[in-house]
Chain A
Amino acid sequence: MTSPALTGKEDPIAAIITPYGRGGVGIIRMSGPGVRHMMGKIFKPEKPGRRLEPRKQTLGRITLPRSGSEIDQSLVTYFKKPRSYTGEDVIEIACHGSPVVLNAILETLAEMGARPAEPGEFTYRAYLNGRMDLLQAEAVNDIISAKTLFQTEIAYKQLDGALSSFCHDLMETLLDLIARAEASIDFSEENYRFFQENELVQSLKRTSNKISSILSTYKTGKLIKEGIVLAIIGRPNVGKSSLFNKILDDKRAIVTHIPGTTRDYLEDTIQMQGIPVILVDTAGLRQGRTAPEKEAVKKTKNIMGKARLILVMLDSSRHLGLKDREILKHTEKRNRLVLINKVDLPGKLNPSILNRLVNPEEMMEISLRTGRGVKRLKERIFQAILGHEILEKNMAYLTTLRQKTALAEAGRSIQKAIRTARKGLSEEFILLDLHQARSRIGELTGVTTVEDIYDRIFSSFCIGK
């Protein structure tokens, strides 16, 4: 558990919840005991005598006590617990103004006792207060860090419960089977048939298939959530920055003819069919002489290690140099495309040498200046990264390792249960694995107890003497 658990008492917290610099409005959220009182000290409604009412917006002005200055019109909304985001008393202050103003308000609040919230702390309190379950809390986190529209959709779906729904349905099915199996043991005298012939095994097989199908979304889900690293490497002035810009469709990197212009590496994220691709333009593998140069090389190697695809650039108008060979060797076992740039100029690269170092499928001839081959390049990049995965917008995806591990273990337990049932062992043995599966799925949806099982048994079956 993180620091929210260890800081201070059950104290009020505050934070700016809108992204920096965007638009002209910023929102500060406060949560916890006493926030209304605190607000009362610095906020004066436009309409004299108006008080803060739950779920209503109140227009007014904030005065910063230290400077005495008044913040231009602010809109304050009060959410009375438990009907608020966190389940505590919440106040949201929306105002115009620069980050400077927002920070000044935040400082004032801190002086009054509302300390700055830790990252994720509002959502954490919402989870503790039962305002959302663990899957939903994770989804909020995902939305905030979502880099692409597609990601937002998936994350939103998770919040809205696509994955929650799936897991809850899974849990319902499992609980039903568990209830019947337990009843077959404890109420075996009731002359009740709790299962039809072979029903248990068939149901378990169906459940196992459902789990397999959602497990297969993890790879894509993870991709979508974390994004892919695409590294560009090559000798200085081979055209890396131009490639970077071309893919970015933006002129971000500095493009000059002086060798060694880009000393460090550039990073930016683009969207390719909804998947965030993190482009990294690296410094090259040349052993630098200065400390910053050595550091840059270290960073490069690090990035190359993480890259899903490496674009090696060669200059068609120059002979294959030592550095080129070094780079080709370093990347020979990796997923790479070797781009032969500047094919608009007279070529000096030796094809036979090149063919020994590079597979023909990995090679592409392009000219960044004329645009030749760029469209095809983009397609090939996309293909190389994703392979044949098709992204569907309406499915539930697993996006974290935690989810995948829990469901994979649940799936294994169900397989074990099926084997036990097939061996002809009675219900108490099968239940060992069913309860394991229930426990794993419960990590995602919330814990179930033996009372939930009894609820099911007694509402479905007329038993008991």
Chain B
Amino acid sequence: MSGATKGDIIVIGAGHAGCEAALAAARLQMNTILITLSREKIAEMPCNPAVGGLGKGHLVREIDALGGMMGLMTDRTGIQFRMLNMSKGPAVRAPRAQVDKTVYAQKVRETLDPQGNIFLVIDEVSEVILKGHVIAGVRTRKGHTYLARAIICTAGTFLNGLIHVGMDSHRGGRIAENGAYALSGSLAKGGLQLGRLKTGTPPRLHRDSIDYSAFTIQEGDQNPVPFSFKTKEINSKQVVCYLGHTNTAVHRCIKKSLKRSPLFTGKIEGIGPRYCPSIEDKVVRFPEKTRHQIFIEPEGRESEWMYANGVSTSLPVDVQESYIHLIKGLENARIIQPGYAVEYDFLFPTQLKNTLESKKVENLYFAGQINGTSGYEEAAAQGLMAAVNAILKIQKKPPLVLRRDEAYIGILIDDLVTRGITEPYRMFTSRAEYRLLLRIDNADERLVHRGYQVGLVSEDDYREYQRKKARAQKARSYLIDFKVKPDSPLSKDLLGDEILRKSLPLAELLKRPGISLAKITSAVHEPSLEILSREEHAFVEAEIKYLGYIKRQREDVERAKKLEFQRIPAEFSFRISGLSREVREKLEEIRPTNLGQAARISGITPAAISILRIYLDRHKKHAV
């Protein structure tokens, strides 16, 4: 084809999924064509300028362990850091940070720019070029053609994007940004099915128009814990956030305006996330609540923009003005960007394999919000995995598929492709049945080898991990070997008045509720403990203190693996006696590759699994 530009990988969209994908591809020596609508909006954070939290923070640690960039970027641009759930166990602690939105995007561009093999194209992809059921390339609105061996689509909220502000709606992928209106049609022609989702965002207020005395100050942590394993420490000064509340006057105002709400008048058809309700949603569903929380968060260190977290809305601008001004402290607040909702096309993710490659169109991958997820972290994780798998396929190597007991990333992808979604998908720790095994302190132990094998984790970083592992091992051995004698001064230090009846190793004592590794470390003055960094400390402590519970989870994993190992061959027919039509249709749609995955499909009963098992056994016998 004359005039066509050829590359190895094409990435459509330069959001968080697209950027991770492009960077990974570039670092793995692939000639990468990154096509996006606007250079200024690369790595944009359209909603809360924050990274992390429960579940999401876990994802970022895993992205970092695999060699992705989100953790590092957050450490470099974060303006407030907090470790959540410090009062609870290690598996449910998670880092969260507010970042400087503009600087974040800048840092990402600075990371992508020097990559010699990323070719940035500012254009809109309007068509996919298919040869049979294999994708060959894309065509753009400006009339150019790009060909590649794999294409990763990370179009986010841009496909047939429709912005709603009150009863006015206009086309757009995000406020003040054009959407993409041709690609959906082209994908549909290729046999892919799309649905409609919606998401919303709150108004932005001018920093200087807020009366901060009416709010409670929320500060960051005193010694912030970095996101990335490679960051030694965070020295930047932290900003504060402001906690306030709505009130009954606000709620009355909102209730009066519901007939002008696109959500309540049915103008918005896409489904929104329940865990991120708009303020009108909250007011209608929970009328007995007299106040709802609102957090005022700075979008950047120098920025004049403040993000009003908790009052996401698609009500008309004049209504927003009214109700914002009824909030204590915001009487004179200036709205510099109104809240709005965006409806967009998404791809039903059950059409994807667990490598994020589409089942119908070979070499076409999807990652990010287009798969029905919400959140920068969820997007980044998918972008990384899609790129890695596209490249592994090109290299004719086995794919990288993470199991549910290995990583939250594994849970994310498995949930998407096996269960599909009914609302925008966000990660929570409650989605992890093996939560105790998937902690932030052991993300590297779980994943750094994979990143290294693939080529995204450098030799240096890998060696650094091995040194950490050695340090942890040494500390663990010490704790297991060193026995505390009864009546010794050490036993008094650790146990106070409680009497020790016989010698016990420190590791045993660590299991007791009142004893922490910190306490032991300060009592014994042992170099192998004192040398540990904070995260290494957490890692060593978790594995010993909660050994009993961790063992139980490992046993659960082994039991579940038996089902996973019952593979379902690609040619296996689900037309077997005893399966209801609905069950059969579900199985044929999703085509699970093993019995464990089949069991997770919604609507598949244990009885159906038993039947499948019988037929699989028979199938195996006949095949032999």
Which chain A residues have a beta carbon within 8 Å of chain B's beta carbons?
A: 1, 4-11, 87, 124, 127-130, 134, 182, 185-191, 423-429, 432, 435, 443, 446-447, 449-451, 453-454, 458, 462-465
A423 to B435 Cα, complex, angstroms: 20
Question: For residue B615, which residues in chain A have a CB less than 8 angstroms away from its CB?
Answer: 5
B29 within 8 A of A: no
Sorted nearest first, the 3 A-B pairs with minimum C-beta distance are A426-B88, A462-B286, A464-B275
Known: A128-B580, A191-B293. A427 touches B88 (CB 8 A): yes
B577 within 8 A of A: yes
A462 to B285 Cα, complex, angstroms: 8
Q: List 12 A-B contacts (CB under 8 A).
A: A11-B577, A185-B54, A185-B430, A189-B53, A428-B91, A428-B436, A432-B436, A432-B549, A435-B433, A443-B606, A450-B431, A463-B275
Question: For residue A454, which residues in chain B have a CB less than 8 angstroms away from its CB?
Answer: 274-275, 430
Assess the B92–A426 pair: CB atoms within 8 A.
Answer: yes
Question: For residue B295, which residues in chain A have a CB less than 8 angstroms away from its CB?
Answer: 465
Q: Among A182, A453, A462, which residue has its beta carbon within 8 angstroms of that of B292?
A: A462
Assess the A5–B611 pair: CB atoms within 8 A.
Answer: yes
B538 within 8 A of A: no
Give the dominant DSSP class at B's interface. Answer: loop
CB proximity of A123 to chain B, nearest CB, Å: 12
Known: A5-B611, A128-B605, A462-B285. A188 touches B54 (CB 8 A): yes
Question: For residue B608, which residues in chain A have a CB less than 8 angstroms away from its CB?
Answer: 128
Q: Among A1, A124, A189, A464, which residue has its beta carbon within 8 angstroms of that of B276?
A: A464
A1 to B48 Cα, complex, angstroms: 52
Question: For residue B605, which residues in chain A have a CB less than 8 angstroms away from its CB?
Answer: 128, 446-447
A186 to B275 Cα, complex, angstroms: 11
Interface residues in B523-582 (C-beta closer than 8 Å to A): 546, 549, 552-553, 575-580
Question: For residue A9, which residues in chain B have a CB less than 8 angstroms away from its CB?
Answer: 575, 577
CB proximity of B119 to chain A, nearest CB, Å: 38
Closest to A5 in B: B578
Interface residues in B67-96 (C-beta closer than 8 Å to A): 84-85, 87-89, 91-92
Question: For residue A453, which residues in chain B have a CB less than 8 angstroms away from its CB?
Answer: 430
CB proximity of A193 to chain B, nearest CB, Å: 13
CB proximity of B429 to chain A, nearest CB, Å: 6
CB proximity of B559 to chain A, nearest CB, Å: 11
Q: List 14 extra interface pairs beyond A128-B607, A185-B429, CB under 8 A.
A: A1-B578, A5-B578, A9-B577, A124-B578, A182-B428, A426-B88, A428-B92, A432-B549, A432-B552, A443-B606, A449-B602, A464-B275, A464-B277, A465-B295
Closest to B90 in A: A428
Q: What are the interface flags for B271-295 relative to A under an 8 Å C-beta threshold, 1 for contact and 0 otherwise? A: 0011111000010011001001101
Give the total number of A-B pairs whose CB atoms are below 8 A apart.
118
Question: For residue A124, which residues in chain B have a CB less than 8 angstroms away from its CB?
Answer: 578
Q: Among A128, A134, A447, A449, which residue has its beta carbon within 8 angstroms of that of B578?
A: A128
CB proximity of A185 to chain B, nearest CB, Å: 5
Assess the B577–A185 pair: CB atoms within 8 A.
Answer: no
Q: What are the interface flags for B223-254 relative to A under an 8 Å C-beta threshold, 1 for contact and 0 otherwise? A: 00000000000000000000000000000000
Assess the B577–A7 pair: CB atoms within 8 A.
Answer: yes
B1 within 8 A of A: no
A9 to B295 Cα, complex, angstroms: 61
CB proximity of A6 to chain B, nearest CB, Å: 7
B7 within 8 A of A: no
Question: For residue B431, which residues in chain A have a CB less than 8 angstroms away from its CB?
Answer: 450
Assess the B577–A186 pair: CB atoms within 8 A.
Answer: no
Q: Among B285, B293, B549, which residue has its beta carbon within 8 angstroms of that of A465?
A: B293
Question: For residue A4, which residues in chain B have a CB less than 8 angstroms away from its CB?
Answer: 577-578
A6 to B608 Cα, complex, angstroms: 13
Question: For residue B577, which residues in chain A have a CB less than 8 angstroms away from its CB?
Answer: 4-11
Interface residues in B292-329 (C-beta closer than 8 Å to A): 292-293, 295, 309-310, 312
A464 to B200 Cα, complex, angstroms: 13
Question: For residue A458, which residues in chain B have a CB less than 8 angstroms away from its CB?
Answer: 274-275
A429 to B545 Cα, complex, angstroms: 12
Closest to B55 in A: A186
The residue among A191, A424, A451 with the most chain B CB atoms within 10 A of its own CB is A451
Q: Among A130, A186, A190, which residue has its beta carbon within 8 angstroms of that of B293?
A: A190
A445 to B472 Cα, complex, angstroms: 46
Question: For residue B521, which residues in chain A have a CB less than 8 angstroms away from its CB?
Answer: none
Assess the A423–B513 pair: CB atoms within 8 A.
Answer: yes
A446 to B602 Cα, complex, angstroms: 12
A1 to B614 Cα, complex, angstroms: 8
Question: For residue B92, which residues in chain A have a CB less than 8 angstroms away from its CB?
Answer: 185, 426-428
